[in-house]
Amino acid sequence: MVGLGTSHEGRAGCVTGRTALARALDGTALRPLEDPMNLLIQTLGFGVVTASIIAIGAIGFTVQFGLTNVLNLSYGSIMTVGAFVAYLTETAHINIWLGVVLGGVAGAVLTLLIGKTVFKYYASRGTGLFEMVMVTLALALVIEYAVDALSRDQIYSIVFPQGGTVTMGPLIFTVSQLVLVGICAVVFVLVEGMLKLTRLGKALRAMAVDPRLARSCGIPTNRIVNATWVLSGFLCGAAGVVYVINSLSVSFSTGYDFLPTVLAAAILGGVGSPGGALLASLLLGIVTELVAALGGSSYSTVAAFGVLVVVLLSKPSGVLNAASRKVELTV
């Protein structure tokens, strides 16, 4: 594992399933397609892979914001911490899939610590929604440049075997990509099941709608908030690991590069809706893959935000509506 250069030289847009596969197979598996139908089929297939990577982070973000009402811009920096845990796991010759769990644990611990100290302190002083966004931005910069200092401003490669290839008609996937899709499916089913079938999930949904009424009904709000920090932090850290498994590199700006697409998916899907985040991630994954297929992979993140703008112009739901419905910070 060696540094590949400065992080400023390595900043790029969202790594797509197509570019990751080409990198894993030294570019030999992908050939330009003249048939538009084959191109569309490939775009849909690789879009699912990219969507799976986005969705894990977006589900965590939408759950966190839906309950706490904190637009946490430090979410990306915590993903970076999870990504570096994956790097340390790989250098210690520990199975990288165990690194997904370890990265999630690191994200959960850091998020809970921040939530119970920094966010709680400022909320107790009457900090408003916009002011709290500025707090999270400052916190993101602190974490990001602390990681930058510790990592010596380098981009590190992760040597991770992608496994064999699986051919599905015109589509070629690596085994690791299919595992990432499976991880996303498991995460969605578990989170959705928890929210709808467990007492914790029902209490969390009640607090997201009206925290004051939930308190008056005897719901242990502190425990629910702590559980939310842990759950969303775990998904945040795991998302960072999944991202670098696909991109095969990590730097202090990893989360910074990934956060815009995660935010776009969470906003587009509707805050507090894991199902909406998953569908939005699928849409953004297909769009970014289509842009990459047409030769504009560097504009994939721009394309994702273009979709967000178009949809919100026709149906302005998301952050603004959620904030107007609930103006209280729940930390």
Task: List pLDDT tens digits, range 261-293.
Answer: 898 899 888 888 899 999 999 988 988 888 877
Task: List pLDDT tens digits, range 107-130.
Answer: 999 999 999 999 999 998 988 888
89 lies in some domain: yes
* CATH number assigned to the domain comprising residue 285: 1.10.3470
331 lies in some domain: no
Cα 146 to chain center, whole Å?
21
This prediction's pTM: 0.85
Neighbouring residues of 75: CB distance < 8 A, sequence distance ≥ 6: 57, 60, 61, 64, 136, 140, 236, 255, 259, 262
Q: What is the pLDDT of residue 41?
A: 79
Number of structural domains (the chain) is 1
- CA–CA dist 286, 278 (Å, integer): 12
243 lies in some domain: yes
User: How many CB atoms are located within 10 Å of the residue 274 CB?
Assistant: 27
92 lies in some domain: yes
Average pLDDT over residues 299-323: 65
CA atoms within 13 A on the CB side of 105: 8
Q: What is the pLDDT of residue 175?
A: 86
Q: What is the pLDDT of residue 43?
A: 79
* Band of pLDDT at residue 17, cut at 50, 70 and 90: low
pLDDT for 34 beyond 60: no
Mean of pLDDT over the chain: 82
User: Could you tell me which residues are beta bridge partners of residue 173?
Assistant: 166
Q: What is the pLDDT of residue 296?
A: 66
Q: What angle do CA 96, 98, 100 make, to 5 degrees?
A: 80
Q: What is the pLDDT of residue 321?
A: 47
317 lies in some domain: yes
114 lies in some domain: yes
Top pLDDT among 26 and 175 is at 175
149 lies in some domain: yes
330 lies in some domain: no
* Band of pLDDT at residue 314, cut at 50, 70 and 90: low
Q: What is the pLDDT of residue 186?
A: 95
Window from 13-17, 153-157, 221-225 with minimum mean pLDDT: 13-17
Task: List pLDDT tens digits, range 71-97.
Answer: 999 999 999 999 999 899 888 888 888
Q: What is the pLDDT of residue 111?
A: 96
Window from 255-264, 269-278, 303-312 with minimum mean pLDDT: 303-312
User: Which strand (E) or helix (H) includes residue 156?
Assistant: strand 154-157
Q: What is the pLDDT of residue 136?
A: 96
Domain that holds residue 121: 3-26+35-325
Q: What is the pLDDT of residue 208?
A: 84
